[in-house]
Structure 1
Amino acid sequence: MTQVDILILSNGPGEVTTWVRPVVKALRQELGDDRSIVRISVVLSPCPNATGKERAIALSYPEVDRAQGAEHFWQFLLWGKTFDNWDWCDRGVVVFLGGDQVFPVVIGKKLGYRTVVYAEWEARWYKWIDRFGVMKPQVAASVPQKYADKFTVVGDLMLEAAGEAGESPDSNSSLPIIPSLKTELIGILPGSKAAKLAQGVPLFLGIAEYIYAQRPQTKFVIPVAPTLDLQTLASFADPQKNSIAKFFGFGGASLIVPEEAKGKALLKTTTGLTVELWQENPAYHLLSQCCICITTVGANTAELGALGVPMIVLLPTQQLDAMRSWDGLPGLLANLPGVGTPFAKVINWLFLRFVKRKGLLAWPNIWAQEEIVPELVGKLQPQEVAQMAVDLLTHPEKLDDIRAKLRNIRGESGAAQKIATLVREEIDKF
């Protein structure tokens, strides 16, 4: 095989961890590990959910040879030059795994490369894209017949994460100790950004306190985002540092860091409840053990859906400017320095009015176009959410029904390997 470049286009942390990782593994399996023949590069585009660590995460994958951060993307898109002035082979394939689908069109033309797009819900620019790997046949249903041969149903890349959950965890990791079969494990996912954590941490810990009071066999765990340190997380549980905690009647929690290396850090509330802090990432093996998760809106609902884990999705509105992770122009306006807060309040007020009419915030519900997992929006209080969680826990048949529906709405497994096959086929066309 003549030397080729594989250029992966992606953007946010969810895409880099759940789409890029399995695809680059599959590409190496399909195309080989000889870097003098196949080189894999990752270029990131801006994303309102980005943490700034996406490039480092991409470079941590042994299959990836080089990566460029989102801060240099526009220069690359406009002029075709990377920040480090990378060289490019004469032959290559641009693989789209997140961002705007117009990006592979522009970059593919500049480099003279074939283009392969993974389309989860919508396929665009099909006149100019060479191949599409789609999650379900419905994605290609409205495409004109003359372009139908460009489309291949590959299945659901998110299910690759579910597959990882079934693998054995790292030998250095220790799963929460479940003392008996009657113990229930509940995951708490309050978010990773300050605006969400300010509301999420006191609200979610307050919910845990109420659940534990009624069901003392319950254990709680927070999968800590890799971009979040424990001290920062704990500061949102301290009413002296987080004034929003008073809206939820939350008494506070303190951070307990164990002396032994293998021990788990904990948050201990004033009522005596302890919540384990899980720092290994990704946390799919842990989440797959949870009987239910309490989560905020975002990509985590997609991950939980792919894992088939029941959830209650919360959008508290005590702080109206909390959500700033919008795509496109709304996201840019909401995050403008100095003036972003009023924009965020207006955007979220309009959004909440729409939600009250249309509903469907969690990704599984959007996929199914019905409320499979419960969504609660408004000035939420811990007790009301806890009551809903307790009702589900005391009626396991309801949780089983949610699990079954979550499994039914996703696509087939094996998507990463099928995408790698599409890339191989496009290389062979040169």
Structure 2
Amino acid sequence: MKTILLSSSHKKNDLCLTPARVVFYEQMQVIETYDDQAACYMLFFYKQKFLTAVKTKRMKVHSYLARSFREGTVYEAPHPFLQALVDSNTPLRKISYPQLKKKMERDFSRQEQAKILTYFESFIPKKQLFQDIKAIFYHYRREGSMSGAYRIIRVLIDFAPNNRFVKEVANDLSFRKIQGLYLEESKTIFERDSLFAEAKAAYDDRLLLLEKEKRWIEVSAYLMAALYDHPTSERYQAYRNFTQKYFDPGSRALLLEQLSRSIPALEGVTEDLLQQYLLDEKLKEIAFLFKERDVVLDEKQLGKVALLLEKDGFRTNPEQFSPIMKRLYSENPDQAGVLFEKYVAGLLEVLELEDVHNKLQEFPQKSPLARKIERMNQIREDLDCMQELGELYYEFNQLDRALECFQMEMELKPSDPEPLRWLSKVYADKQMIQESKTYQQLCVDVQKWA
């Protein structure tokens, strides 16, 4: 996850922030971030549009922000939804409260302005916020817009339900008819009050509303949350199609991984994740799915995995590919021959000879290579067989272990030129030319003395 650059009016006060998590709640998104001194900054968004950032030590327990983290959908960083919010709003600039109010007047409706102000209860005195929301209410009243004024009352009821003024205006008889329309959830109210319409919308209707307003990040988060609540193939296909449209392959892989961990039984997720890993040539991740999710590779996929393994699959942890190798070898041992040799050589790099032998016992049939390993395991402590063991190690390109065997054979049989000849050969293969020449000369001298 990238760090987030938060700029300010004074360039020297620009901050490089590390994101921790993001929450989606109603129309709000908040990213929790930290600077290099561990100070917390909350980055506020409304309908995916950046508002401002606020430094904080704590949030009030009963504030709107605290409620959002309790009741909203939280995603830990790194997460594609979080990154998408940042990328779609870059550059992010921290502004003051007066500047925020001016910005809101340009970009949002009065009802939205009132709603947004409630987000900052933990940081701006509640009395100040209340007065600013109240001013919006009176603005509607002066214009004679009773429906607009009542929309602000509904914000105030949620923000300060016990306030005397709020109680009085909420029970004003002049709003009785509008109250009735809200209780009836009439079509008129849905047309006038977009926030109420969104809150009451059914699953499909809310998706249409969000898409109509081009809030694609919120659509993605909503689809994912819906999958967690009620995982079905239909919902997964909708989620899959949407994320394919808006997210790059790397982000889609992260989203699929999250779903695979959370809902491993959801039909289609593991298969799509496997396909993404194949496209990205992520061998380690493919091996994990093969082992933990019991995926079935078709012939084409198995061929692709074989090519990737042949390329560089056994350099670090060949053990993780044992389940795949068993499948490849059992289906076509002749075709898997070269690959199997690399696999065995990889095992010898990281395991003791006895452990390699035990690992190969798990394979369905013994190959010539497995029989060689079996022979090596039989003679590994037999001093009379060090020459043979060294030559077998050499066949598997285990040059250092081969050297150990030939050096021991040289000590045991100082008049025998054969181990010296092999020592010269192995050092030449290791590009250690001086050592190779030394043993070559020793071999010549021993032959002369014989």
* TM-score range for the pair, normalised by the shorter chain length: under 0.3
TM-score by length of 1: 0.24
Greater percentage in helix: 2
Greater percentage in strand: 1
Larger relative contact order (Cα-Cα within 8 Å, sequence gap ≥ 6): 1
